[in-house]
Every structure is written in C-alpha cells, then in structure tokens.
Amino acid sequence: MKRSEKQTIIDSLVEEINSYNHFYLTDIAELDAVKTSELRRICFQKDVKLIVVKNTLLKKALEASNKNAEELFVALKGNTSLMFSETGNVPAKLIQDFRKKNKRIGKPVFKAAYVEECVYVGENQLESLVNVKSKEELIGDVIALLQSPAKNVISALQNGGGQKIVGILKTLSEKE
C-alpha cells in the first residue's frame, strides 16, 4: 500500500472518529462469511457502522483526531474492527446479544471503547457499557420523575379522594 493510500485511509478514519461521540474496538476475526454478514446486517439495523482497520493506521488516526483517546492504544493488538454509534450503549448490547446467539464462537471480542468522552478498556467493561443509559433514556427517566407527583394527585382524586376534598371545601365555605 502506498503512503498516499495510507494517508487517505487515516484521513477518512479521523473524519469518522471526530464525527461520532462513541466508538468501540472489537475483534471479529475468525468469523466465517455467514456470521460476518449477519453481524454487519445487525449493525446496519441498529445504526452502527462497522469498519475493519489496521492497528497502525488506527493509532495514527486516533493521534490526529480531536478525541483524547491515547488510553486505547493498549487495545491495538491483533485484529481490530471499529463500531461507530450515535448511542453509547448500542454496540455493547449488540456485542452481548450476538455472543449469546453464537455461544460457541465467542465473537466479537470487546477490546475497548470511547463512550461519552471516557475510555473503557478490557472485556470486564462490557457489562458496564451495556448499563450506560443513552441521552434519550435519561430524558425519559427525568420526565417520568417529574410526572410522578402529578399522577399521584390525579390518582388520589380519582379514587374517592375527590369527594373528600369537595366535602372539606363545602364545609369551609359554609363556616363563613
């Protein structure tokens, strides 16, 4: 591969790395064509972009990117694939689900991730990443918490509490 071709690949990787807030480093080597195709199809359905890269080119791209991801360099051994996603926990769930369906294969192997400006390295971090809530999930939780007191008042009023309040207000108005 010529130097100009390598630089083109590095520039393309830098652009991808800078445009996504979340990316995972995985190992999908030893997957046969059918399983690789199945993984790519699932990635496409979940809006995850899967790219196989050379470690040296990825390292140069990470150095040139605007992300502080030097801690990922230790994971750049063996075969490496990148999974880019707009939602931080989607690739983790995808990896976990794919491995459950294909237990004897044990792939893809989680190597590292850059999620919400934090670096996660090692297979033991996968469960933590599965449990990371997306922005939409956090907003939903906040809305549910804000709605809870109003729902409780409405529920109390609908379950006979309304009659008590009407009676109390009537008694108070008659006292004057």
Give the pLDDT confidence score for residue 44 in this predicted structure.
92
Q: What is the pLDDT of residues 106-137, one digit of tens each?
A: 788 888 888 888 888 888 888 888 877 767 77
pLDDT of the residue at 159: 66
- Residue range(s) occupied by CATH 3.30.70.1730 in the chain: 3-132
Identify the burial level of 3 via C-beta atoms within 10 angstroms of its C-beta, where 0-12 means exposed, 13-18 middle and 19 or more buried: exposed
φ/ψ region of 52 (left if φ > 0, alpha if ψ in -120 to 50, else beta) reads beta
pLDDT confidence of residue 160: 62
Q: Which residues contact 114 (CB under 8 A, 6 or more apart)?
A: 22, 23, 24, 67, 69, 72, 120
**What residue type is assigned to position 33 of the chain?**
A
Query: Any idea what DSSP says for residue 132?
Result: P
3-132: CATH number:
3.30.70.1730
| Bridge partner residues of 114 (DSSP) | 23, 119
Determine the Cα–Cα distance for residues 133 and 25; give it in Å rounded to an integer.
20
Which stretches in the chain have pLDDT values below 50? Answer: none
